[in-house]
Chains A and B, each alone.
Chain A
């Protein structure tokens, strides 16, 4: 069975500082990993995904994520946070078969000016 853990309910960071939102996963085969962001009263927006290849994945709005197979992690990062990055972030995983996407519980990011 697939699972995703986002260990932090809330992450606070000052504007201009680097941010990290953590995600660890468990799948039986090769993972496909995704990050989505959700602003209040909106749907989820796709940020980036890891399929295979380079462990550092670059996505929308300056976000990137690092796939670490030995630590089964896929942490989301940004070098310099903006107040407008404040939102709810979801990590998700599925394996290479025909299985549904499994979401983590979400991490609320708050960037303080």
Chain B
């Protein structure tokens, strides 16, 4: 299985809602990533988990809360988001985060709209 899956595909939420994005991989990868991508822009790194521990937080606002329950799963909990948080949220995984040569495998993304 060489796939990264993400659910849901689309999500519409109000600014007071709480929701979660889910990501799963079964490639035995030990690094997992969350990216935010605005239209026609490159992905922006948000968080990196290495061996289920948070290793990088790119100064992301606390209304985004990542969680890595086990080596195959990655969640992103959302609370009190702003309309400017509307974007495509991409999950990725790689063999590990320390080897520079390891390519990342991306999921299809969750299209988030905040009203």
A46 and B109 contact, CB distance less than 8 A: no
Which A-chain residue is minimally distant from B91 (CB atoms)? A43
In the bound complex, residues from chain A placing their C-beta under 8 Å from that of B48 are 100
> In the complex, are the beta carbons of A42 and B104 less than 8 A apart?
no
- Would you call B109 and A43 a contact (CB within 8 A)? yes
B83 CB–A CB distance under 8 Å: no
- Smallest CB–CB gap between A104 and chain B, Å? 6
Within 8 Å of chain B (Cβ to Cβ): is A45?
yes
CB neighbours of A49 from chain B (8 A): 101, 103
Which residues of A are found within 8 Å of B92, using beta-carbon distances?
Answer: 43-44
Which residues on the B side are within 8 Å of A98 (C-beta)?
A: 97-98, 100
Q: Which of A4-60 contact B (CB under 8 A)?
A: 32, 34, 36, 41-46, 49, 51
Instruction: Give the size of the chain A interface in residues (CB under 8 angstroms).
Output: 26
The reply on A99 being an interface residue by CB < 8 A is yes
Residues of B within 8 A of A88 (CB): 40
**Residues in A whose Cβ lies below 8 Å from that of B28:** none
Q: Is the CB of B105 within 8 A of A51?
A: no
Query: Does B90 interact with chain A (Cβ within 8 Å)?
Result: yes
Additional pairs, 4, CB under 8 Å, beyond known A98-B100, A101-B104, A105-B41: A36-B106, A43-B6, A98-B98, A106-B40
List the interface of chain B (C-beta within 8 A of A). Answer: 4, 6, 40-43, 45, 48, 56, 58, 88, 90, 92, 97-98, 100-101, 103-109, 111
Closest 7 CB pairs of A and B: A103-B42, A43-B106, A44-B106, A32-B100, A51-B101, A43-B108, A96-B100
